Chain A
Amino acid sequence: MEPVIVFENVHYTYPGDELESLCGVDLQIEKSSFVAVLGHNGSGKSTLAKHMNAILVPDEGRVTVCGVDTADEERILDVRRRVGMVFQNPDNQIVANVVEDDVAFAPENLGVEPAQIRRRVDEALKTVGMYELRMHAPHLLSGGQKQRVAIAGVIAMEPEIIVLDEPTAMLDPQGRAEVVSTVTRLCREKGMTVVLITHHMDECIGADRLIIMSNGHVAADGSPEAVFADLSLMEREGLTVPETARLLHDLRAAGMELPDERLDIDGCADEIAAQFLASES
């Protein structure tokens, strides 16, 4: 798979800080993949996200997005139109008083033709399932709905990559589910590359790849099944694994033979049931 975002030995220290927030990160994000990034507070996961669309540029090393160096100020719009960013607080990223005007903001900034903007806005709102509420005032929407509007606002820019920096941190469980299923669909159906920064383990289960950040380093990188199977690493990082991973791990430790890991609840149940049936017969 061709990499769309490449980190090469990236170091970054926030002005006024003594500790480095990123200390030598090497990373490649492949096209059309769904990558989840986990880590506790201060692990550098948000700093990592902010490097992906040139909000921050590395002190040392290099970040390239589709071949464009993010440190190249001349081409900053090239980077930002390719990498859409969704932030934590839905209230602070909605700029207009009407949903559809907000979604139109990015294409307007890019100087897209009015008729084309209309088409993109309608399409984006339908993709996130907010088309019916297009004339609403954003402050009257629920948190999950606001966050979906923010995602639509990014899709209307027609980016190749969408980076979500803890989009679910301020939402209730229902809002979280709405947002996660929307981004999963974007990746699976539209082939968009998705980078989801989060601290909810269960949101990582559907990802192709899971990266654990710790003190500015990449502590683990692999499929969610493989990463969650390493319980000692997860404990060291102060992260609790999803309940399904814990259950499978304990069963295996007790001597049960489980072929491969399935972390969604139904899959996990199926496997355990299959094992019981096999041992009975």
Chain B
Amino acid sequence: MLKNVTLGQYFPGDTVVHRLDPRTKLILVIVYIIALFQAAGWIGYAAVTVVTLLCMALSQIKPSTMFKGVKPMLFIIALTALLNIFYTTGTPVRPGWIVTWEGIARAFQMMLRIVLLITGTFLLTYTTSPIALTDGLERLLNPLKKLHVPVHEMTMMMSMALRFIPTLIAETDKIMSAQKARGADFETGSLISRAKALLPILVPLFVSAFKRADELAVAMESRCYHGGEGRTRMKQMHMAARDYAALVLGALFLAGMIVLKRLGL
């Protein structure tokens, strides 16, 4: 039951988007988010949607895959839309109703905004391996090391966490089976009793996670790990022409969105 977690999943491929340097993609996602929040009117939203669909096509990520990523968020999206419908002042749909035309428009835009936000960030994780992502992050944040920010340690922790997600999921499955074999019931009862039933899973899981962490630390030290100082990387990152081209396109997109906002579209 825990096998279908798609959080941070990577789909290997060999498209332009896959080949972009992770640093470029990280910057572009930030640019994309800023641009998305510039969208003020229908034309602005249409522009972002077109760009998003274009990127999806370029990376050959299927819309159905993307929908799987959005699915867990549907409840929040629906709730946001609902609240926007009822809490926006303007001309009522019918005299006396709380629902306004502006509210409906706003609800649609909010839904679009959240979906686009998820799609854009998922495009990054779908096309970039977690290791490349954390490496890119480390290189990008490198200047912060001068301010004594532990950049290497932070990204190392992130990549370790990503490495252990499948291991811990497998372990959770195993513990759940073991507890079920002893008569534990996770499926029936009230919300509170089901939450309580999770305790016998969490305790062994935490105990073993700490034990793992301990062993891992010893294993890393045995392989001469001594922090980020003097460390080299086997896979060197280099910015190619396509990376610069992508960054220029990103900048143009952001500039265009700001202009649209100024025009109030």
Contacts and interface: CB of A to CB of B under 8 A. Distances in A.
B174 interface: no
Interface in B191-234: 212, 215-216, 218-226, 230-234
Interface in A63-117: 77, 80-81, 84-85, 87, 89, 91-98, 100-101, 104-114, 117
Given A98-B131, A101-B131, A137-B166, A55 B222 contact: yes
Interface stretch (B45-53, B92-100, B155-163): B155-163
B154 interface: no
A144 to B, nearest CB: 17
Nearest to B164: A91
A188 interface: no
Interface in A114-133: 114, 117-118, 121
Contacts of A216: none
A192 interface: no
B4 interface: no
Contacts, number: 92
Contact of B163 (A81, A95, A104, A121): A95
B130 A97 contact: yes
Contact of A92 (B129, B216, B223): B216
Contacts of A89: 212, 215
Interface string B231-256: 11111100000000000000000000
A109 B131 contact: no
A114 B232 CA distance: 7
A179 interface: no
Interface residues on A, range: 35 or more
Interface residues on B, range: 20 to 34
Q: Which of A97, A98, A112 has the most CB of B within 10 A?
A: A97
A121 B216 CA distance: 21
A96 B163 contact: yes
B224 A80 contact: yes
A213 interface: no
Contacts of A35: none
Contacts of A48: none
